[in-house]
Amino acid sequence: MHARHIRKERLIGWMFASCGTLSICVTLGIIAVLFWETIHFFHVVPLNEFLFGTKWTPLFSEKKFGILPLIAGTLLIASIAMIFALPLGLLIAIFLREYAPPRLRRLLKPVLEILAGIPTIVYGYFALLTVTPVLQKIIPSLAGFNALSPGIVMSIMILPLMISLSEDAIHAVPEHLRAAAYALGSTRLQVIFRVVLPSAMSGIVSACILSVSRAIGETMLVTVAAGMRPTFTMNPLVPVQTITAYIVQVSLGDTPTGTLEYSSIFAVAFVLFVGTFVLNIIAQKLRHSFRFSYA
Amino acid sequence: MLLRQGRRCFIYYFMKNHILLITPFFLISACTTTISEEDSAATGSSHMMEDAITGMVTIDGSSTVFPITEAMAEEFQKKHPGSKVVVGISGTGGGFKRFCRGEISINDASRPIDLSESTLCRENGVSSIELPVAFDGIAVMVHPSNDWVDFFTVDELKTLWEPNAEETITHWNQIRPEWPDKPISLYGPGVDSGTYDYFTDVIVGKEGVSRGDFVASEDDNVLVQGIASDPNALGFFSYAYYQENTHRLKLIPVSVIGNDVSAVSPSPETINDGSYAPLSRPIFIYANTDALGDRTVSAFIDFYLDPSNAASLIREVGYVPLPPELYLLVQERVQKRITQSLYQQEGAGDMTLSELLHSGRE
């Protein structure tokens, strides 16, 4: 009897281990493929030109491989998204945790979660066909494809992530800190802005970083609404292209494998991967630091 | 490959459905069958009853030719309910890449096959018959609110689109000083498109060479949406897509000599008689010679080249059909299995389509 239990335990242990190993293997495989194709790319294109060039025209006859326009487009849209999502998400999280009566909270949370369930292609057409025309009434010089409209819509898209992560951070602030602040005669607003938010800061920063990482990885929304034109600019009113949208563009046309255009998508994907990887690690570190500070 | 196909169809489905409201049903069915039956496509399957046409025709290629082929496919399938015609869009160049691998029976092309493509086909043992099916004009358009542009000269278009213009010619008054000091935003077909190849050939002077800083898409509906929503826009694409969107776009006449009297707007008449120069051209389908052995494919080609079908369907989707006697010459190319491209014979550059077809008979 005892021996059989041990065998069963072992078996289950192996099962879980192999599941874990599988996902690690897949990740390593992806990295290996990315790395391999990227090396091919850099046999032809000098690293210097790739990192500091300001023109990106790999599909045209005069090929230029400067990734800065794609990075600019990606960061521009992510920043616009964060400008809206950060304050809004934080305020909603504070409201849900500190102000909303429990019944309202139970009603609001699922509604917000729905936002996370909408397919991103729907957000894309929402930006292109609804938000852009409205914005054009306010800003007449706005182009039909631009960074502003997908940026704003993306802020709605990442809102659920932003809210639930910052809510967690606020929730993790121990009750006795609040109680102590109230005991000293603080108002509710003072408690939130002088005690709760500063204590939850590392968690909130980590929520921001994860949201940014989600924003720069978003594909469909920017492919549809941002315009597919690599422009080295920080002007939100003109068409731009993000790294992810470029990858879509190349995979839609029939680019033969083994060509330079083909390996260019791996090179830009590698840059994207490094970017989100670093952001995620920073976020992870920060989350750990706030968990341990009150232990 | 399969995954890519699926995603492409997904996107087109949405584009069409939202922007143009073309019946999504056809697109859905086209996409699903492309995925599942792609492999059996080139050969087709005709081991059914002798008299019924129940096989399958797979077509890919130019978005410019797509509306004609789609219309032909719909009518053909109505006539032969058991048959299935699947039409994709990946640009003329993208289509030829698949055609020369033997993946599709017919390629839609908005320009003649080029030398590298015919070499590729030969290497893979794929031979093709070139079939001119209609005339098309490339329309140059601006936003409807644009009230300063009266016409373009070919030289002005060259100034604007040549590679040197990249990030240099960015405002309207750089083209003509009396035009406003407003930024200009450019829209055009992507590099896999035959319309892009043709436009750069006749305007810039070298095929496939242009500035790179414009919004480029293989899907003309994206360009319609872009130009129609951008007051500073200028773009070009097939005249037929303009006709579907006349109220959202403003058509601009083009002049070769350089004054407004000589400027010509594209219309069925000016495209047919060649006076809308240099931006009118014939468009083609290319049939895989082996696939013509299949009854369904050959029946579809006969249907496509029937002058009475051509006259009504091609006009309906906004293109200019060839004169009926030319369709007979084109049919002759099928019957005689003439695989030589009309445009790879001597002096082809200076001849009209009718002259080419007559001289190509020998």
Q: Please list, in sequence order, all residues whose beta carbon lies within 8 angstroms of the beta carbon of residue B147, skipping any fewer than 6 positions away.
A: none
Per-residue pLDDT band for A1 (boundaries 50, 70, 90) equals low
Do the chains contact at A254 and B97, CB–CB below 8 Å? Answer: yes
Chain B contact present for A252, CB below 8 A: yes
Tokens of A180: 């102590």
How much is the pLDDT for A253? 63
Class of domain B10-135+282-359: alpha beta
Q: How far is B336 from chain A (nearest CA, A)?
A: 32
Residue A291, pLDDT > 70, answer no
Residue at A1: amino acid letter = M
How much is the pLDDT for B51? 64
How much is the pLDDT for B187? 93
Per-residue pLDDT band for A74 (boundaries 50, 70, 90) equals very high
How much is the pLDDT for B284? 94
Chain A contact present for B193, CB below 8 A: no
Q: Please list, in sequence order, all residues whose beta carbon lies within 8 angstroms of the beta carbon of residue B9, skipping any fewer than 6 positions away.
A: B27, B28, B30, B31, B32, B34, B35, B88
Tell me the HSE value of B348 on the side-chain side, using a 13 A CA sphere.
12
Please state, in angstroms and rounded to a whole number, the distance separating the CA atoms of residues A73 and A243: 8
- Fold match, B10-135+282-359 / B137-280: yes
Of B39 and A258, the structure prediction assigns the larger pLDDT to A258
Please state, in angstroms and rounded to a whole number, the distance separating the CA atoms of residues A204 and A201: 5
Tokens of A271: 């840059």
Cα A149 versus chain centre, distance: 17
Of B198 and A154, the structure prediction assigns the larger pLDDT to A154
| B199-214 mean pLDDT | 88
Report helix angle B66-79 to B307-316, nearest 10. Answer: 130
Tokens of B147: 């009230």
Residue B180 region by backbone torsions, left for phi larger than 0, else alpha for psi between -120 and 50, else beta: beta
How much is the pLDDT for A290? 62
Structure confidence by residue, pLDDT tens digits, B280-329? 888 999 999 999 999 999 999 999 999 988 888 988 887 888 888 889 99
Residue B24, pLDDT > 70, answer no
Strand pairing category for B233-238 and B250-252: unpaired
Please state, in angstroms and rounded to a whole number, the distance separating the CA atoms of residues A235 and B10: 31
Structure letter (DSSP) for residue A259: S
Closest to B195 in 3D by CA, of B89, B273, B288: B89
Do the chains contact at A227 and B218, CB–CB below 8 Å? Answer: no
How much is the pLDDT for B1? 34
Closest to B337 in 3D by CA, of B285, B288, B284: B288
How much is the pLDDT for B42? 40
| Ranges A105-119, B46-60, B85-99, B347-361: which has the least confidence | B46-60
Residue B32, pLDDT > 70, answer no
Chain A contact present for B14, CB below 8 A: yes
ipTM for the predicted complex: 0.72
How much is the pLDDT for B351? 77
Please state, in angstroms and rounded to a whole number, the distance separating the CA atoms of residues B21 and B15: 9
Q: For residues B142 and B227, is the Cβ–Cβ distance under 8 A?
A: yes
Do the chains contact at A144 and B191, CB–CB below 8 Å? Answer: no
Q: Give percent of chain A above pLDDT 70.
A: 96
How much is the pLDDT for B43? 42
Residues of A in contact with B190 (CB under 8 A): 59, 249, 253
Please state, in angstroms and rounded to a whole number, the distance separating the CA atoms of residues A285 and A262: 35
The residue ranges of every structural domain in chain B are 10-135+282-359, 137-280
Do the chains contact at B14 and A133, CB–CB below 8 Å? Answer: no
Per-residue pLDDT band for B362 (boundaries 50, 70, 90) equals low
Per-residue pLDDT band for B340 (boundaries 50, 70, 90) equals confident
Report helix angle B295-305 to B66-79, nearest 10. Answer: 120
Structure confidence by residue, pLDDT tens digits, A92-112? 999 998 899 999 999 998 888
Q: Which of A229, A233, A255, A261 to mutate to test the interface with B (most CBs of B within 10 A)?
A: A229
Question: B137-280 falls under which CATH superfamily?
Answer: Periplasmic binding protein-like II (3.40.190.10)
How much is the pLDDT for B52? 76
Mean confidence (pLDDT) of chain B: 82
Of A92 and B349, the structure prediction assigns the larger pLDDT to A92
Q: Which of A61, A254, A259 to mutate to test the interface with B (most CBs of B within 10 A)?
A: A254
Per-residue pLDDT band for B153 (boundaries 50, 70, 90) equals very high
User: If you search the block for the tokens 């704003």, which residue do you land on?
Assistant: A152
Closest to A244 in 3D by CA, of A17, A101, A78, A8: A78
Instruction: Work out the angle at residue A109's Cα, subtended by the Cα atoms of residues A105 and A111, and round it to the nearest 5 degrees.
Output: 125
Number of CB atoms found within 10 A of residue B165's CB: 20
Exposed, middle or buried, A14 (CB in 10 Å: 0-12/13-18/19+)?
Answer: exposed
Residue A295, pLDDT > 70, answer no
Backbone angles phi, psi at A257, to 5 degrees: -65, 150
Do the chains contact at B90 and A64, CB–CB below 8 Å? Answer: no
Q: Which of A60, A65, A120 to mutate to test the interface with B (most CBs of B within 10 A)?
A: A60
Please state, in angstroms and rounded to a whole number, the distance separating the CA atoms of residues B295 and B193: 30
Structure confidence by residue, pLDDT tens digits, A180-231? 999 999 999 999 999 999 989 888 999 999 999 999 999 999 998 998 888 8
Give the B window 300-359 contacts with A, CB below 8 Å: none
Q: Where are the alpha helices (DSSP H) in A118-239?
A: 120-126, 132-138, 148-171, 175-183, 188-190, 197-217, 220-225
Residue A91, pLDDT > 50, answer yes
Mean confidence (pLDDT) of chain A: 90
